[in-house]
Structure 1
Amino acid sequence: MSELLETARVTLFGSRNAGKNSFEPACDIPSLACKVVLITGAAGDLGRQTAVELARHGRPARIYVADLPRDADAKRGVIERIQHEARSDDGSNDGKYEATDVRFLDLDLTVFESVQKCAAEFLAQEERLDIVVLNAGIISNRVGTTKEGYEKHFGLNYLGHALLLRLLLPLILSTVQQQVDGDARVVVVSSEGHAVAPAGGIQFAKLKTDCADMSYAQRYGQSKLALIGLARELAQRYPSLTTASVHPGRILTGMATALSKESLLVRLTAPLAPLVCVSVVIGIKNHLWAATSPDVVSGKYYEPVGVPDKESNDAKNPDLSRRLWEWTDQELQLAGLL
């Protein structure tokens, strides 16, 4: 019963992006000239809008869209949409706008080989990486596993991202050394839903199963709890980086629409959605704040916008995040990936 109540609380009353810090992309995103950005899941709602706002207001040299493989026309469509929306601003352009170069990288986070190929393709093209937004994610009522046999939420939301980050980490650290200001960012998109993780936080013994004995909310919550631990442990082990985990707020996205087809609770609460949800444009403000604000404290979890210290007790547990890092190292080493 307590799990059902917690799930309902998150579903109905999740944060609506009404934090204490006002953040307006047009005013608060600094120049990102010469910088390189990589965003996972950037063909979807939140990731795409993050790319649009960074391109529109920060104008980095390049933004890489890392998302599920698709045909050449579909990739070109994603790139052109981001570039078009980035240019369609409030009319303040002076005609000298130099469009950010947007590039597509194939990435299936449920397959280790795909993650390796994505990282290798990026590293073959770039000598720096300034901002990484680990944004891709799923939530589904259906049980399943990744190609390597991990529960699919944990495998995609956390483990695929952890591998990608490990492969790119040497370049990110090198980028810090290249810069005068020494700033490179890793933004990890978690969720308030991490509070619905099973008792004890992460069920390590079950991660290489489909976790069918858990509810979908617990499976999702476990993966999002792990992402908070990833950001915290990165900050501890690599103090030269700026890392943050974020909850974007209660937003209606394609992912939520897909879940409504599987979850009775989501369908029953759908009429309340306009009262408790915000648009994607508002919802990505916490992404953007964490990626660019000088006020980010490395390793913290933030609810929108820039509100710290609202994570669960499990998420605050340093022993859990340390154990997760060690478990991840072991799994990736056994797979011959580190």
Structure 2
Amino acid sequence: MLAAARACILPAIRLYLLGLKVLLVQLFSSPFRLPAMPRQDGKVVIVTGGGSGIGYEVVRHMARLGAHVIIGGNDEQKGLAAIRRICEEYREARVEFINLDLASLQSVRRFVRRFEGRGLPLNVLVNNAGVMLVREGRTEDGFEQHFGVNYLGHFLLTWLLLDTLKDSGKCGQYSRVVHVSSSAHRIGEIRLNDLNSCRNYSAHAAYCCSKLAQAVFSSQLHQELQSGGHPLSSCAVDPGMVNTALYRHLWTPLRLAESAIARLLFRTPAEGAAAVLHAALSPALEGERGGGYWADGRREEAAPLTFDPELRLSLWETSLRLLGLQ
């Protein structure tokens, strides 16, 4: 009983202390300002969770630069409302919505079939959607929700779109996969024999695990692409603590405090999106330079586990097996 309580409480304490540290850093530093980016006419971009928050700001900026942007999300009403706002602001914007529920592998496959049926290229994939601190539960396919949505759903989406991404890239204009990460990956751990967090469940630990898995996947994917000589890069981006609905599942007293603190200390969605847009569009990140872990427009060292070759390969192979891709 004591061990179970400790397994639930300690990850929460660690995550909230990390959040406090991030807030203090943000308080004493200026948010990253996105420099002018080149036009994206003729480029096609997919942004998961692009109907609100950081994703919406990424879609909005991409559309302003002339890209054809597809929002992948599970809330059609929200997605269409986002499109209306963007088109009111930029009359020439090319933005559309395709239903995508990352908690359903069938939905992911259906999304990819619909996209591929259009015969479009794909120049940028932004894996932005996610859940945080949701109650214990399972996805449609039986996976723990954080692991299933934040990691496995995006793994499958990326895998199924890899050929299109590779075919759309070329020397000097690589295609890019951008994973919206979190500093929470630094306190995560991956138990390959318990990826569904069945033992002593903690939503805080499960979230951190899913973000670490995402960072590991990004690193391994980039290595695989570069060793294969493909014109496609993969990176992870930490946008910082941003005032979005992602934090709505915090412990109630903290949530009430957070709503006031967020307005003062959290970054705005547009400020958070700047780091994502830099990774997706900056000419300085062309080719092999586009890999790695980024925050505030700078390359940073990810958690040491991200570089563990045995863990990277084991998680990669386990994910392929879980998704029936081998």
Bucket of the pairwise TM-score, normalised by the shorter protein: 0.7 to 0.9
- C-alpha contact (below 8 Å) 1:21/1:305 kept by paired residues: no
Instruction: Choose between structure 1 and 2 for higher RCO, CA contacts under 8 A separated by at least 6 residues.
Output: 1
Q: CA deviation at 1:331?
A: 1.2
Give 1 or 2: higher helix fraction: 2
Pair 1:270–1:307, CA change in 2 (3 A)? farther
Structure 2 residue 263 is the aligned partner of structure 1 residue 259: no
Which of these residues, 192, 196, 202, is aligned with residue 204 of structure 1? 192
Q: Distance in 2 between matches of 1:220 and 1:3?
A: 10
The CA deviation string for residues 245-271 of structure 1, in whole angstroms up to 9 with x for no partner, is: 011111110121x223x4544445554
The runs of 5 or more residues in structure 2 that have no matched partner are 1-8
Q: CA deviation at 1:107?
A: 0.4
Identity %: 28
Query: TM-score, normalised to structure 2's length?
Result: 0.87
- The equivalent residue for 1:80 is 84
Pair 1:268–1:21, CA change in 2 (3 A)? closer
Pair 1:237–1:9, CA change in 2 (3 A)? same
- The equivalent residue for 2:216 is 229
- C-alpha contact (below 8 Å) 2:237/2:275 kept by paired residues: yes
Structure 2 residue 292 is the aligned partner of structure 1 residue 300: yes
Structure 2 residue 37 is the aligned partner of structure 1 residue 29: yes
* RMSD, aligned α-carbons: 2.4
Q: Distance in 1 between matches of 2:79 and 2:259?
A: 32
Taking the TM superposition and a 5 Å limit, the aligned residue runs for 1:236-275 are 236-239=223-226, 240-256=231-247, 258-260=248-250, 262-268=251-257, 270-275=259-264
Q: Distance in 1 between matches of 2:292 and 2:86?
A: 29
Q: Distance in 2 between matches of 1:28 and 1:17?
A: 25
Q: Secondary structure at the match of 1:255?
A: helix
The total of aligned residue pairs comes to 309
- The equivalent residue for 2:159 is 166
Taking the TM superposition and a 5 Å limit, the aligned residue runs for 1:1-338 are 3-14=11-22, 16=26, 23-24=33-34, 27-56=35-64, 58-60=65-67, 62-70=68-76, 75-85=79-89, 87=90, 99-176=92-169, 179=170, 181-197=172-188, 201-207=189-195, 209=196, 211=198, 213-239=200-226, 240-256=231-247, 258-260=248-250, 262-268=251-257, 270-296=259-285, 297-309=289-301, 311-333=302-324, 337=325
The runs of 5 or more residues in structure 1 that have no matched partner are 88-97
- The equivalent residue for 2:4 is none
The CA deviation string for residues 199-223 of structure 1, in whole angstroms up to 9 with x for no partner, is: xx2122222x453613222110110
